[in-house]
Amino acid sequence: MLLYLRLFKESFSFAINALTNNKLRTFLSLLGVTIGIFSIIAVLAAVDSLDRNIQDQLSGLDKNTMYLTKFSFGPTDVPRWQRDNFPQTEYGDFDFIRRNVPDIAASAYVIFGSPQTVRYGAETISGVDIIPVSNEIYEIENIKIEEGRFYTESESINGAPVIVLGHSIAENLFGNSNPIGKQIRVYGRRLTVIGVMKKMGAGMGGSPDDKGYVPANFVRRFQTGGVDGIPGAVIIKPEKGVDMGAFEGVLKQRFRVYRGLKAGEPDNFFVNKMSGFTDAIDGIIGTMNIMGWIISGFSLLVGGFGIANIMFVSVKERTNLIGIQKSLGAKNRFILFQFLFEAVILAVIGGLVGLFFVWIGSLIALQFTGDFEFVLSAGNMFLGFILSTLIGLISGVIPAISASRLDPVEAIRTGM
């Protein structure tokens, strides 16, 4: 054991000498390892951060939640011309579903709107995502209220001119003053602020802090006079423990009857499931990981060649010393491990530099990503260390074997 500790110490000394005596050569050779480790760990950290932030945003939403609408949220075999002729999902559809489909924990009707301008006094905010939706969305999305309240079922049905604001919108409009009870202008109409949501941070489809909720019937009343025909969807949250296949079958069957579809006629609506959406996200994240590994792998390959080059040069420069060591009784495995350790140490140094740059990059990213949490896990750091070690082993094994097989007499004579 003591022998191998001494061997490691000598190899570390040789590696440091290689770094200090041939700075430019070493720098260029280790650059590939540094870039490769930086690329892989940076990609893994970015993907992990994206995945964690997405999961945090979806944590309050049941994966069994369904969206019934004329649009498909993913790829579909239904032709575009046929989808364009599907009827809009109307408030009456929502009313039928909540009254006639069993095992529904909550359902809501939402209108697909466009960004609106919000005004209060001299303050104006453009491009605000105002969501017209019935009151049940409070339960489905697990909305958290910091001040005031969410609108009631009565206010939702009657289309009361009330609004619940995201944290950032309320802060920008009212500053430190209490927004509850104050009137703002949206859609060119006055609405009373009855609630402000808790600060949530960045999320999918924009931050909840930059959104606002109004009763869907309020928008229906002035946009269409109560007559449907505007793009909308029914959001359905099944009860826990329900057989999802059977529930979806009952939902489709009863809604087909409601729309007067005959046997053999295709559905003129889509039931989009959140579980499918999250599976698609997992697939995208997996693809991003694979692409990151492929791209970074080329850098690691170049880095491996660089380490191998250093080791071949090191063997050439120390041929005489190898001959002397072997003539004094050094065994082949001693020479083999000496150069292997040296290759690993060089690769690990390059890897540690790459990890250091990832760490610096994560600190910089935190300053520019705001509420987006950039995750640099200990697991990814350990993976970077293991990868750099493997690169050193793979790159150094052939030069080490060639060094260990040198004939001592020929080595001394060649090195003189």
pLDDT digits (tens, 9 = 90+) for 57-106: 665 556 788 899 988 877 788 888 888 888 888 888 999 999 999 999 89
Under DSSP, the state recorded for 209 is G
- Minimal CA–CA distance to 401: which of 322, 327, 348, 346? 322
pLDDT above 90 (res 242): no
Contact of 411 with 326, CB cutoff 8 Å: yes
Residues 6+ apart with CB under 8 A from 358: 37, 38, 41, 42, 45, 376, 384
Please give the Cα distance from 374 to 52 (Å, whole number).
Answer: 9
Distances (CA, A) of 173 to 67, 79, 121, 186, 405: 32, 45, 9, 13, 78
Please give the Cα distance from 36 to 383 (Å, whole number).
Answer: 12
Please give the Cα distance from 8 to 14 (Å, whole number).
Answer: 10
Residue 281: count of CB within 10 angstroms of its CB: 16
Please give the Cα distance from 199 to 202 (Å, whole number).
Answer: 10
pLDDT band (50, 70, 90) for residue 225: very low
Displacement of CA 77 from its chain's centroid (Å) = 28
Q: How many residues does the chain have?
A: 416
Copy the structure tokens of residue 51: 């995945």
For residue range 248-298, list pLDDT tens digits in order: 899 999 999 999 988 888 889 998 887 666 666 777 777 777 777 777 677
pLDDT above 80 (res 162): yes
For residue range 355-411, list pLDDT tens digits in order: 888 888 777 777 766 555 666 777 777 877 787 888 878 877 887 787 777 776 666
Please give the Cα distance from 332 to 338 (Å, whole number).
Answer: 10
> Given this model, what pLDDT does residue 227 score?
46
Copy the structure tokens of residue 148: 């005031």
* Beta pairing class for 123-132 and 66-69: unpaired
pLDDT above 70 (res 11): no
Q: Is the dihedral of CA 240, 245, 246, 250 positive or negative?
A: positive
pLDDT above 80 (res 414): no
What H or E segment, with its residue span, contains residue 34?
Answer: helix 23-58
First-last CA distance in the chain: 33
Cβ burial, residue 146 (10 Å; 0-12/13-18/19+): exposed
Copy the structure tokens of residue 8: 């490691």
Q: What percent of the chain has pLDDT over 70?
A: 83
- Minimal CA–CA distance to 134: which of 97, 102, 182, 85? 97
Place of tokens 């009212």: 174
Please give the Cα distance from 336 to 58 (Å, whole number).
Answer: 53
Among the ranges given (109-123, 205-219, 327-341, 352-366), the one the predictor scored with the smallest mean pLDDT = 327-341
Please give the Cα distance from 120 to 126 (Å, whole number).
Answer: 12
Higher pLDDT, 350 or 4: 350
Please give the Cα distance from 255 to 70 (Å, whole number).
Answer: 13
Q: What is the radius of gyration, based on Cα positions, of the chain? A: 32
Residues 6+ apart with CB under 8 A from 389: 344, 347, 348, 351
Residues 6+ apart with CB under 8 A from 353: 30, 34
Please give the Cα distance from 350 to 343 (Å, whole number).
Answer: 11
pLDDT averaged over every residue in the chain: 80
